[in-house]
Amino acid sequence: MSSTTALRPTQRDAYDLILEAIDVGIYKPGSRLVEIELAERFGVSRTPIREALQRLETQSLLTRDGRSLIVASLDHNQMAELYVVRTELEGLAARLAAQHASVEEVNVLQQMVEADRGHVSDAAALARSNKRFHKQLHLASHNRFLVQQLDLVYRSMALLATTSLAVEGRGPIALDEHQSIITAISDRDGIAAYEAVKQHLSQAFVTRLKHDAEGQSY
């Protein structure tokens, strides 16, 4: 196999590159995705880009606007539905983590929270570390099928244009809520872990709703 072939991006690579660009806000809901521009940005041929766009459209992460593809957006009801599913699945992950997480995994979660307290004023950095925290929580459930479903949920979360952590004062409160989740898992209290996640995500949803309402004009 030549070095050129070995380095050639696959359809999977193109999919991941576009999804990550949506996730970090390079492409926001409503942004138009142009095949040739994406190929130039990522240094990928147009064929894997085209296949990746088709896959993202199938997953409802992209939608049609005439002949163009744009990043989809979630309306109020869709966002509420997403939070319901996320809360139940992530609550289950926390409950299972209380049963199955190793001491080392709990320690990693604790270290994440302690590190995050050092940059609560940086919403973008906190949002990135928040995703890593929740992913680590999912993995601590030791249930591969649950982790797969949560991955799907988090793909849809990328369609939310803002993070609730950007709201002033939310960062320190969210970290305290993370700490409550860790404490319950460390105590091997599955019910408390589930309730801590439920409270955490409820507050995140309320914060997002208030932020979105303040940004509306009539």
The rounded distance, in Å, linking the Cα atoms of 51 and 13 is: 11
> pTM of the prediction?
0.82
The rounded distance, in Å, linking the Cα atoms of 70 and 56 is: 10
The predicted structure's pLDDT at residue 169? 85
The predicted structure's pLDDT at residue 211? 76
Contacts 24+ apart (CB under 8 A), 147-154: 147/93, 149/89, 150/86, 150/89, 150/90, 150/93, 153/82, 153/85, 153/86, 153/89
- How is the chain split into domains, by residue range? 3-71, 76-214
The predicted structure's pLDDT at residue 23? 83
The predicted structure's pLDDT at residue 84? 96
Burial 133-170 (b: 16+ CB within 10 A, else e): bbeebbbbbbbeebbebbeebbbbbbbbeebbbebeeb
CB contact at 8 A, 147 and 141: yes
User: Do 3-71 and 76-214 have matching folds?
Assistant: no
Determine the straight-line distance between the first and last CA of the chain, rounded to whole angstroms: 60
**Chunked mean pLDDT (size 10), the chain, 218 residues:** 43 83 87 94 91 92 90 90 96 98 98 93 87 96 97 89 76 95 98 98 91 61
The predicted structure's pLDDT at residue 71? 94
Top-level CATH class of 76-214? Answer: mainly alpha
Q: Which CATH number fits domain 3-71: 3.40.50.2300, 1.10.760.10, 3.40.50.300, 1.10.10.10?
A: 1.10.10.10
